[in-house]
Amino acid sequence: MKIVFLLHNAYAIGGTVRTTLNLAAALAGRGGHEVEIVSMSRHREMPRFTVDPAVSLVPLVDTRIGGVDTRYAAYEEPARDFPAAEKRHKQYTRLHDLRVREYLERCDADVVIGTRPGINVYLSMYGPRTALRIGQEHLRHDAHSKKLRAVLARHYRSLDAVVTMTAADAEVYRARMALPGVRVLSVPNIVPQAPCPPSDGAAKVIASAGRLAPGKRFDLLLEAFAAVAAQEPEWQLRIYGGGPEEARLRDLVAGLGLTGHAHLMGARSPIEPEFAKASIVVSASDAESFGMTLVEAMRCGVPVVSTDAPLGPAEIITDGVDGRLVPVGDARALAEAVVGLIHDAPLRHAMARAAFASARRYDPDPIVARYELLFAELRETRRLRSWQRLRSRAADWARRTARSTHGPARAASARGARPDPRPT
What is the C-alpha to C-alpha distance for residues 123 and 133, in angstroms, rounded to an integer?
7
In terms of domains, do 66 and 125 share one? yes
pTM: 0.87
What is the C-alpha to C-alpha distance for residues 71 and 76, in angstroms, rounded to an integer?
8
* pLDDT at residue 422 in the model: 41
- 26-48 per-position pLDDT tens digit: 999 987 899 999 999 999 999 98
In terms of domains, do 54 and 178 share one? yes
On the question of pLDDT at 423 being above 70, the answer is no
DSSP string, 171-185: HHHHHHS--TT-EEE
What is the tally of structural domains in the chain?
2
* pLDDT at residue 418 in the model: 46
On the question of pLDDT at 388 being above 90, the answer is no
On the question of pLDDT at 216 being above 60, the answer is yes
Query: Average of pLDDT values for 260-282?
Result: 95
pLDDT confidence of 421, banded at 50, 70, 90?
A: very low
Please give the DSSP secondary-structure letter assigned to residue 199: P
* pLDDT at residue 416 in the model: 52
On the question of pLDDT at 163 being above 80, the answer is yes
In terms of domains, do 48 and 146 share one? yes
CATH number at residue 332: 3.40.50.2000
- 55-90 per-position pLDDT tens digit: 999 999 999 999 999 999 999 999 999 999 999 999
Where b means 16+ CB within 10 Å and e means fewer, 371-389 reads beebbeebeeeeeebeeeb
Q: Does residue 313 belong to any structural domain of this protein?
A: yes
Domain that holds residue 345: 205-362
Domain boundary among 186, 217, 250: 186
In terms of domains, do 108 and 252 share one? no
On the question of pLDDT at 366 being above 60, the answer is yes
In terms of domains, do 11 and 84 share one? yes
In terms of domains, do 38 and 79 share one? yes
Q: Does residue 116 belong to any structural domain of this protein?
A: yes
H helix or E strand, kind and range, residue 262: strand 262-266
Q: For residues 143 and 287, is the Cβ–Cβ distance under 8 A?
A: yes
In terms of domains, do 227 and 169 share one? no
In terms of domains, do 211 and 130 share one? no
Query: Average of pLDDT values for 350-356?
Result: 98
State which amino acid sits at residue 322: D
- 129-156 per-position pLDDT tens digit: 999 999 999 999 999 999 999 999 999 9
What's the start-to-end Cα distance of the chain, in Å?
A: 53
- The per-residue pLDDT of the chain, averaged, comes to 93
